[in-house]
Amino acid sequence: MRKTDRATNLTKGQLKDRTVGSTTLSAFKVAGRILLTIFAILLITAVIVGISLLTFIYSMKDESVKIDLKEYKQTYTSYLYVNGSGDNKNQPVQKLSLHSGEQRIWVNYAKIPQAMKDAIVSIEDKRFWDHKGVDWGRTMHAVFNLAGGADNFGGSTITQQLIKNLTQENEVSLTRKVKEIFRAINLEKKYSKEQILEAYLNCVPFGSGTQGVQAAANLYFGKNIQNCDIAQCAAIAGITQNPAKYTPLVNKDNNRKRQQIVLAAMHDQKRITDAEYAQAMNESEHMTFVGKKSSSNTQQVWDWYTEAVIRDVQSALMSKYSCSASAASNMIYSSGLKIYSAEDKNLQNIAQNYILHSGVLDDDQQVQTGFCAVGYDGRVLATVGSRNVKTGNLVNSYATMLKFQSGSSVKPISTYAPALDKGQITYSSLVKDEKIDNYFPNGSAGPNNYSSETMSAVCHGDVTVQEALANSYNCAAAQVCKAYGVLQSYNFMTQKLGFSNCLVQTDSKSLGGMALGGQTHGVTVLNMAAAFEIFGNGGKYYQPYTFYKIVDHSGNVIIDNTKRAPVQAISSVSASIMNRLLRTVVTEGTAKAVNIDGWDIVGKTGTTDKDVNSWFVGCSPYATGAVWTGYGRNKTLSSTSYSKALWRGIFEKYLSTKAPKDFTFDGNMVARQYCMHSGLLAGSNCSDTQTGYYDIHNLPQTCSGEFDLDAASEDEENSSSTADDTNSQNQQDSSEPTNETSSQPETSQQSEASSKYSEMSQAPNESKTESAGPDSASSSKK
């Protein structure tokens, strides 16, 4: 019978069985393919992860600690120097010596008793003498602990603990652990076991503010470490795991229990005999602690400038050596550094004495202040961090540490300078002092201007840049900043003027924050003083510094601040024009109280909402200065004139000691008369003019005089108003916004001209020019 015949004669049941078997086989094949695919994916993922992990680990192989243990063990006195007589940098004189006290006393390895070495090795790292920096068994155990939810690795060898103490890196992460492992391996290649154990026993904290076994022995037992017996060494060794918990002066029972654990470990590891163990255990039950505190001399209180130097030196050392604040502090106090301060002793003394004794702040005993003066190369000349007599060290400074909203004092650096430098405005460009729709979160227009006479919100229509800045019109500044770009303003301040340590991303989207100084966290007085450098040195920003250099005890310059390159924030000619604009703030604007006879003073005032903060930031031909006054909290000042009075008083005394000097201006800045109605260069038909300052390569066009005719026509109409109308207007409710310009609606011709001014003021004009002098802007009527 043929196969086809047999297939035909199969029963239905047989056919069904064959079909089911075939389907089952197909399902197994599909499942097999899926499992193979999953396995392949897992294998590939494992390979990728493995390669990535190996690459990461390999990248860490050269990790090392940058601190030299041979240098670290030495205790040298460091010295702070200031310029000599007449601010002579080449003849520095010693101002201060810095040295460690009895809380950290280095003791050489040979003078540390064997019992102390054995106690610490027994309880902290019993295989210390055998491994090469890492105990791999303990490390793997620690990894499993972490995977199981432990909040720390544990398993660190003495070498690894030494590294952690030197760097103060305590983050619980795989990255830090891998980095620590390679640092330990490399450290043991460089130093002997004895050197590592010596460093460890001299830098580890032993509670109650002590570092090292010598300081601990002095404090707890009133003796040197070499005179401590086995029980006493065990008591000291037991503290290291948790100094706060096991310090015997606070937790005597905890220390005793831990001490006995240490003794048991020493006994189990055959480091002490049965007899020694029994005697030490008996002694532990009756141990007494002296608790003798350090008898160091009364702490010398630094002045505000010295405090700023110490903080900056610590920060610089941390950055250079990738070490902790504690390690950097140890270097300052015990490594024999020579620190050359940039302080101007004369100005520092003037500022401190004036703030303390002038009586300017006597009317309000709660108001605080901060002051900084900066030279045009970034040198911080003086700083005062409070109105009060300084009674301690490492305290908060209102000048260099705390941040406050800057108010209108920021307008020159956030808005007008970058817009002028970009060519969007000139000295006399017309800008609209009008509110912006949807300015406030509730959708209302803003910001508000406030008249010092009426304290009511006013807008002024089209005004020149000079008028807007001199009188600190908020609406005009907001309009200019909006046109320039809020993000661009933020980038300018953070990238060109050093405000990256103050401003945050939310500021980059805040028109009020950038244009009017309502920053999220505020700025420091030092930030503001340093930023105004650009208006007196040709547009260059130098990062401020409080010390020239640091020299190690071998005579090597390890940090040098005198070779910093500046950032060209704005062009030299733009800086000169801004200088002249800021001069009008002092001669005719909001800072007339700051003017000093015989000196060319420029600057900007600033207050914040409800007069919580008050500022004046200004420039003299020798230096910039910034003063903040306030309460450091949301409370209205009793007077906003304090900052101006302090600035003027300090700089008047300072400049009286200096030879006459003028600002140096860029040769491309020229003085020209401009039409007060159009903002363009004055033409023959312009009757109302003022002197403005311009870039010779970007002069406005010349005014035809038609705008003066419009203004004259308006004056005639206004003069025909009756006395009754005038009286009626003067009796308006002062709470209503008023406009000091004409209340007549703007004609279409005037509207066109207003927008045309902005375009025309940017157009170049090749007319004959002459160089500008240092005189401030003056008005003239023809």
Grade residue 137 by pLDDT with cuts at 50, 70 and 90. confident
Give Cα 386 distance to the centre of its chain. 19
What three-state secondary structure class fits 541?
strand
Alpha-carbon span 180 to 161, nearest angstrom: 9
Is residue 553 within 8 Å of 337, Cβ to Cβ?
yes
**pLDDT over 50 (residue 723):** no
Tokens of 25: 């086989």
Residue 582 lies inside a defined structural domain of this protein: no
Grade residue 346 by pLDDT with cuts at 50, 70 and 90. very high
Grade residue 102 by pLDDT with cuts at 50, 70 and 90. very low
When mean pLDDT is compared across 101-105, 205-209, 538-542, the lowest value belongs to 101-105
Nearest residue to 80 (alpha-carbon basis) of 559, 560, 555, 547:
547
Average pLDDT over residues 8-34: 63
Average pLDDT over residues 311-330: 91
Grade residue 170 by pLDDT with cuts at 50, 70 and 90. low
Task: Please tell me the predicted confidence (pLDDT) of residue 729.
Answer: 32
Alpha-carbon span 177 to 181, nearest angstrom: 6
**Helices 748-760, 706-719: inter-axial angle, 10-degree rounding:** 140
CA 502 vs CA 145, 406, 488: distances in Å: 41, 11, 16
Residue 403 lies inside a defined structural domain of this protein: no
Instruction: Label residue 264 left, alpha or beta by phi (over 0 means left) and psi (-120 to 50 means alpha).
Output: alpha
**pLDDT over 80 (residue 70):** no
Tokens of 600: 């060319």
Grade residue 298 by pLDDT with cuts at 50, 70 and 90. very low
Residue 455 lies inside a defined structural domain of this protein: yes
Q: Strand 78-84 relative to strand 338-341: parallel, antiparallel, unpaired?
A: parallel
Alpha-carbon span 592 to 327, nearest angstrom: 50
φ, ψ of residue 679 to 5 degrees: the values are 80, 0
Residue 185 lies inside a defined structural domain of this protein: yes
Residue with tokens 């793997």: 140
Q: Strand 78-84 relative to strand 567-568: parallel, antiparallel, unpaired?
A: unpaired
Nearest residue to 133 (alpha-carbon basis) of 195, 168, 182:
182
Whole-model pTM? 0.69
**Helices 193-203, 174-190: inter-axial angle, 10-degree rounding:** 120
273 and 130 in a common domain: yes
* Number of domains within the chain: 2
Contacts of 497 (CB under 8 A, 6+ apart): 413, 530, 531, 534, 541, 567, 569
CATH of the domain at 125: 1.10.3810.10
* Total count of residues recorded for the chain: 782
Q: Strand 567-568 relative to strand 738-739: parallel, antiparallel, unpaired?
A: unpaired
Residue 507 lies inside a defined structural domain of this protein: yes
CA atoms within 13 A on the CB side of 472: 26
Choose the final residue of a domain: 256, 284, 312: 284
What one-character DSSP code corresponds to residue 285? T
Choose the final residue of a domain: 252, 284, 316: 284
Contacts of 578 (CB under 8 A, 6+ apart): 412, 416, 417, 420, 534, 535, 570
Q: What percent of the chain has pLDDT over 70?
A: 78
Choose the final residue of a domain: 284, 310, 338: 284
What one-character DSSP code corresponds to residue 493? H
- For the chain, the first-to-last Cα distance in angstroms comes to 132
How high is the mean pLDDT of the chain? 83
Q: What is the pLDDT of residues 370-423, one digit of tens each?
A: 999 999 999 999 999 999 999 888 899 999 999 999 999 999 999 999 999 999
Alpha-carbon span 369 to 327, nearest angstrom: 33
Residue 366 lies inside a defined structural domain of this protein: no
Instruction: Label residue 349 left, alpha or beta by phi (over 0 means left) and psi (-120 to 50 means alpha).
Output: alpha
What is the residue type of 455?
M
When mean pLDDT is compared across 12-16, 118-122, 688-692, the lowest value belongs to 12-16
Residue 770 lies inside a defined structural domain of this protein: yes
CA 606 vs CA 182, 298, 490: distances in Å: 53, 42, 19
Residue 357 lies inside a defined structural domain of this protein: no
- For 439, the domain range is 408-523+667-720+733-782
